[in-house]
């Protein structure tokens, strides 16, 4: 009899079979151990097809036992511990076929036990204000900011964990700022040391805690990403940074043939337009900057290639029209 058939057979009598006991039965050296050796799976747990068997059983058990709170994450935790489960989930998130399940389970780590802990903590500290220790102080003893950011981002996507995720999120920001949340985009930028980053856009799209800060709902302010960019532009303009300097700062001079497809080019184009409006500006053109860094011949080849690619065809056509001697056309401000 297959593992799934066995699970269904047990599910038929689910009122007298507890999933936790079944899990132990399945991995404890009984006839099930040959097809459901989950305890020994460890880091390879999500690669085991038998996990599906057990998960199906739990779902069927829950159908006839709606009051039972057994979940996959609770059973995994009882066998591998919180740190063990975290390690397994982090590995599973790197595999496309298991990423969705692992992300959902990681979010579940915050609920319901964590919600209960927060409630108890609040009641305790209300009665004992002098002994108060912040939630983040406790969490940071076990998880890094980036690890917490990953869990919060995952938990916010699940209705049952969204509330507690928001609570932890607010605590996280308060912890970062000391006593209050960032009040301006500039404060947020400096908070995450983005003003020191060699590549601002790359940092904010790869660092989990930066993603958490920059996403629309986290600071509860509209158009936050645009505001952060505007704040950075404000600093560059105050320092009278030339478009050429920013071109190099964003490493666009290293983009080569992929320049027109580079997402950072839009940032530079916007800055160039803002720069050209300033009274101190030395009027700069897009085509002039490109020619300076890549040369006429290389730029011509770049534009010819880009005109055959749907994504860059329009921009390449515009630049191709500008690439004529002595046109002296400055970049449009949009």
Residues 6+ apart with CB under 8 A from 222: 216
Structure tokens that stand for 115 in this block: 């919600």
- C-beta of residue 162 within 8 angstroms of C-beta of residue 156: yes
Q: Which of 288, 284, 291 shows the shortest CA–CA distance to 241?
A: 284
What is the percent of the chain where pLDDT is above 90? 0
User: What letter would DSSP give residue 215?
Assistant: S
Task: Work out the average pLDDT over 139-167.
Answer: 66
User: What letter would DSSP give residue 299?
Assistant: H
Task: Work out the average pLDDT over 2-23.
Answer: 48
At residue 155, the pLDDT reads: 66
**Position with higher pLDDT, 162 vs 196:** 162
- C-beta of residue 247 within 8 angstroms of C-beta of residue 253: yes
Q: CA-to-CA distance for 310 and 233, rounded, in angstroms? A: 30
At residue 236, the pLDDT reads: 85
**Position with higher pLDDT, 44 vs 11:** 44
At residue 200, the pLDDT reads: 40
> Where along the chain do its domains lie?
1-109, 132-146+154-239, 255-334
At residue 14, the pLDDT reads: 42
The separation between CA 20 and the C-alpha centre of its own chain, rounded to angstroms, equals 33
Chain position carrying tokens 């009882």: 78
**Position with higher pLDDT, 78 vs 13:** 78
- Peptide linkage before 112 cis (omega within 30 of 0): yes
Q: Is 60 exceeded by the pLDDT of residue 163? A: yes
State phi, psi for 191 to the nearest 5 degrees. -55, -45
Task: Work out the average pLDDT over 84-105.
Answer: 74
**Position with higher pLDDT, 55 vs 332:** 55
**Position with higher pLDDT, 295 vs 153:** 295
How many of the other CB atoms lie within 10 Å of CB of 315?
Answer: 20
User: What letter would DSSP give residue 333?
Assistant: -
Q: What is the pLDDT of residues 41-87, one digit of tens each?
A: 555 666 666 666 666 666 666 666 666 666 667 777 777 777 777 77
Q: How far is CA 123 from CA 155, 161, 172, 317, in A?
A: 24, 21, 20, 65
**Position with higher pLDDT, 19 vs 173:** 173
Q: What is the pLDDT of residues 115-125, one digit of tens each?
A: 555 565 666 66
- C-beta of residue 25 within 8 angstroms of C-beta of residue 32: yes
Task: Work out the average pLDDT over 20-40.
Answer: 43
Task: Work out the average pLDDT over 291-317.
Answer: 79
Task: Work out the average pLDDT over 300-305.
Answer: 80
At residue 281, the pLDDT reads: 87
- List helix spans (H) across 128-158: 135-140, 145-155
Q: Is 50 exceeded by the pLDDT of residue 176? A: yes
3-state secondary structure of 283: coil
Structure tokens that stand for 52 in this block: 């599906």
Q: Which of 21-30, 161-170, 213-222 has the highest mean pLDDT?
A: 161-170
State phi, psi for 36 to the nearest 5 degrees. -135, 60
At residue 161, the pLDDT reads: 64
At residue 43, the pLDDT reads: 55
Q: CA-to-CA distance for 164 and 25, rounded, in angstroms? A: 34
Give the CB-side neighbour count of residue 268, counting CA atoms within 13 A: 27
């Amino acid at each position: 009899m297959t593992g799934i058939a066995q699970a269904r057979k047990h599910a038929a009598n689910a009122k007298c079979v507890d999933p936790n006991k079944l899990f132990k039965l399945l991995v404890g050296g009984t006839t099930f151990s040959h097809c459901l050796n989950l305890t020994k799976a460890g880091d390879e747990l999500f690669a085991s097809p038998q996990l599906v068997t057990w998960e199906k059983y739990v779902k069927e058990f829950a159908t006839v036992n709606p009051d039972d709170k057994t979940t996959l994450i609770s059973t995994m935790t009882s066998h591998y511990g919180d740190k063990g489960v975290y390690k397994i989930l982090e590995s599973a998130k790197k595999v496309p076929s298991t990423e969705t399940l692992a992300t959902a389970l990681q979010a579940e780590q915050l609920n319901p036990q964590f919600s209960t802990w927060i409630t108890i903590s609040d009641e305790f500290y209300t009665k004992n204000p002098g002994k108060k220790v912040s939630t983040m102080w406790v969490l940071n003893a076990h998880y890094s900011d980036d690890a917490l950011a990953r869990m919060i981002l995952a938990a916010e996507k699940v209705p049952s964990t969204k509330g507690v995720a928001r609570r932890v999120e607010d605590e996280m920001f308060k912890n970062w700022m000391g006593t209050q949340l960032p009040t301006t985009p500039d404060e947020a930028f400096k908070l995450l040391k983005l003003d020191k980053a060699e590549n601002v856009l790359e940092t904010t799209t790869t660092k989990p805690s930066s993603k958490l800060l920059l996403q629309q709902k986290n600071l509860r302010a509209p158009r936050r990403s645009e505001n952060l960019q505007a704040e950075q532009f404000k600093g560059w303009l105050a320092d009278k940074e030339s478009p050429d300097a920013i071109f190099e700062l964003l490493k666009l001079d290293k983009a080569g043939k992929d320049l027109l497809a580079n997402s950072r080019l839009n940032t530079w184009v916007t800055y160039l337009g803002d720069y050209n409006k300033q009274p101190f500006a030395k009027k700069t053109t897009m085509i002039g900057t490109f020619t300076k860094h890549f040369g006429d011949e290389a730029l011509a080849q770049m534009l010819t290639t880009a005109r055959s690619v749907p994504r860059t065809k329009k921009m390449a056509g515009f630049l191709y029209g500008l690439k004529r001697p002595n046109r002296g056309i400055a970049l449009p401000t949009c």
